[in-house]
Amino acid sequence: MTEFDLISRHFQRPATTALLGVGDDCALTKVSPGMELALTTDMLVAGTHFFPDADPHDLGWKTLAVNLSDLAAMGANPRWALLALSLPAADENWLASFAEGFFACAQKFGVDLIGGDTTRGALTLCVTAAGEIPAGAALRRDGAREGDDLWLSGQAGFAALGLQHLQGDIELPEPLCRLCLKRLHAPQPRVALGLALRDHAHAAIDISDGVIADVGHIAERSGLTAEILLHQLPRLPEAVPRAIALAALLTGGDDYELAFTALPDKRLELARIAAELDVPLWRIGRMAATSDAPSVQMLDPEGKIVPCDFLHTPGYDHFRESST
Ligand code: ADP
Ligand code: MG
C-alpha cells in the first residue's frame, strides 16, 4: 500500500463545511463573519501518553477529543482538524479502527478532517484543531476577577483512578471501574459547556494536568489566589480510600473537565446550564486578591488554610528534572 492509498482509504472523507479538504497542498476554509479562529495542537506519543498496545478505536477518539477539549476551554465552536501521523507500519486493521474512532468523535462534534501528514516512524499522533469564537469572546486564562466563584465540571479524578487500576496500584470495583476506564480512554470534551460559558464565565481552562495545576494557571495568569474550599469539592467515589480519591481529584490528569470562574450572581444561570446540559457543575471555591505570588490554597469550612501536600505536587511536566 502506498502512502496515498493509505490516506485516501482511511482519512479522505468529503469535507462538509470546508471549501477544500484532503487532497491538495493546503485545505481552504472560510471563517464566519464576526468570528475569530481558535487554533490548538496536541500530540500523543506511544509510551508517553498511551500504552503502545492501546485500543486503536479509543486512540482515534482521544487524539481528536483532547484537542476539542482545548477549544471548549476557550469557548470555541470546533470546526476543522488536521491529523499528522507517524506510524511504524501500515497496519490496515489498526488504521481502519483508529480512523473509525477519530471520525466518530469528529462527527459527534461537527468537525471536518481537512488535511494532515503521514510518515513512517515511532507511533505519534498529532492533531491541530481550529474552532470559531465571536470576536473578543474567548475565555482566556487571564480573565478571572477578584471575587469570582471558581467552578469545576463533571467528575475530575476518574481518569487517574482508571490509570492506577490499570497499573495495579488500586483495584476498582464495577461499575466504577468501567466508568473510570471510559474516562481515561474515551474522554468527552465539554464542547457544549464551553459554548454555554461564553456569556457567563470570565476565565476557563481544561483539566488535562490536574485540578490544582490547571487552576494554578488561571490564578497565575490572572494575578489572583484560587481558594479551593475542601468541603465544596465534588463527592468522592466511596469505593476508593478517601486519600487516594482526593489525590486523584486534585492532581490527576487526563480528565478534560473544565474549570472556570464567574461572578457570584451567575450561580442561578450556571445551575440552569448544568441541568440543561446534564453536566454536574461544582462551585469549588473563589478567586481572591493576593499580596504574595498568585497561588492555590485549600480552605476548611471556617476559612482556615489547610496545609496540604497536594499543593506541592506540580502537574505533569515532560521536562522537569527529577529531584532524586
Ligand atoms: P504534501 O506533499 O503537500 O505534504 P501529502 O502528500 O503529505 O501532501 O498529503 C496529501 C494530502 O493528504 C494533503 O491534502 C494532506 O493534507 C492530506 N493528508 C496527509 N496525511 C493525512 C492524514 N493522516 N489525515 C488527513 N489528511 C492527510
Ligand atoms: Mg505531507
Calpha distance 20→39 (Å, rounded): 18
Q: What is the pLDDT of residue 111?
A: 97
Looking from the CA of residue 115, the nearest atom of ligand 1 is: 16
Calpha distance 322→303 (Å, rounded): 34
Ligand 2: centre distance to CA 116 (Å): 7
Residue closest via CA to ligand 1's atom 18 equals: 116
Q: Which CATH superfamily is domain 141-314 in?
A: PurM-like C-terminal domain (3.90.650.10)
319 burial type by CB count under 10 A (0-12 exposed, 13-18 middle, 19+ buried): exposed
Ligand 2: centre distance to CA 294 (Å): 43
Calpha distance 31→275 (Å, rounded): 32
For ligand 1, pick from 117, 119, 126, 128 the residue to mutate: most ligand atoms within 8 Å of CB.
Answer: 117
Q: CATH topology for 3-134? A: 60s Ribosomal Protein L30; Chain: A; (3.30.1330)
**Grid cell listed for 66:** 483532547
Calpha distance 222→217 (Å, rounded): 8
For ligand 1, pick from 22, 29, 63, 103 the residue to mutate: most ligand atoms within 8 Å of CB.
Answer: 22
Q: Which residues pair with 133 in a beta bridge?
A: 36
Residue closest via CA to ligand 1's atom 16 equals: 115
Residue closest via CA to ligand 1's atom 24 equals: 116
Residues with CB under 5 A from ligand 2 (ion): 117
Ligand 1: centre distance to CA 119 (Å): 10
Q: Can you list the alpha helix ranges (DSSP code H) found in 148-263?
A: 158-166, 176-185, 191-197, 211-222, 242-251
Torsion of the alpha carbons at 46, 52, 55 and 57, rounded to the nearest 10: 30
For ligand 1, pick from 118, 125, 126 the residue to mutate: most ligand atoms within 8 Å of CB.
Answer: 118
What are the backbone dihedrals phi and psi of residue 83, each rounded to the nearest 5 degrees, phi first?
-125, 115
Ligand 2: centre distance to CA 2 (Å): 13
Of 207, 214, 173, give the one whose Cα is nearest residue 190: 207
Angle 141-142-144 (CA atoms, 0-180°, nearest 5)?
Answer: 90
Q: How many CB atoms lie within 10 A of CB 171?
A: 10
* pTM, rounded to two decimals: 0.93
Average pLDDT for runs of 10 along the chain of length 324: 89 92 96 97 94 94 98 98 96 96 98 96 97 98 98 96 96 97 96 98 96 96 96 94 94 94 98 98 97 89 83 61 47
Residues with CB under 6 A from ligand 1: 7, 11, 22-25, 83, 85, 113, 115-118
Calpha distance 218→197 (Å, rounded): 16
Helix pair 158-166, 242-251: axis angle to 10 deg: 120
- Contact by Cβ (8 Å): 113, 107: no
Of 137, 151, 139, 140, give the one whose Cα is nearest residue 287: 151
Q: What is the pLDDT of residue 69?
A: 98
Ligand 1: centre distance to CA 249 (Å): 40
Q: What is the pLDDT of residue 15?
A: 87
Residue closest via CA to ligand 1's atom 22 equals: 116
Residue 72's SS3 state is helix
- Contact by Cβ (8 Å): 251, 210: yes
The 10s digit of each residue's pLDDT in 290-324 is 888 879 999 999 999 988 766 655 556 666 664 43
Residue 95's SS3 state is helix
- Contact by Cβ (8 Å): 193, 185: no
Q: What is the pLDDT of residue 311?
A: 60
Residue closest via CA to ligand 1's atom 9 equals: 117
Could you state, in order of their start, the residue ranges of all structural domains in the chain? 3-134, 141-314
Q: What is the pLDDT of residue 315?
A: 59
Q: What is the pLDDT of residue 323?
A: 40
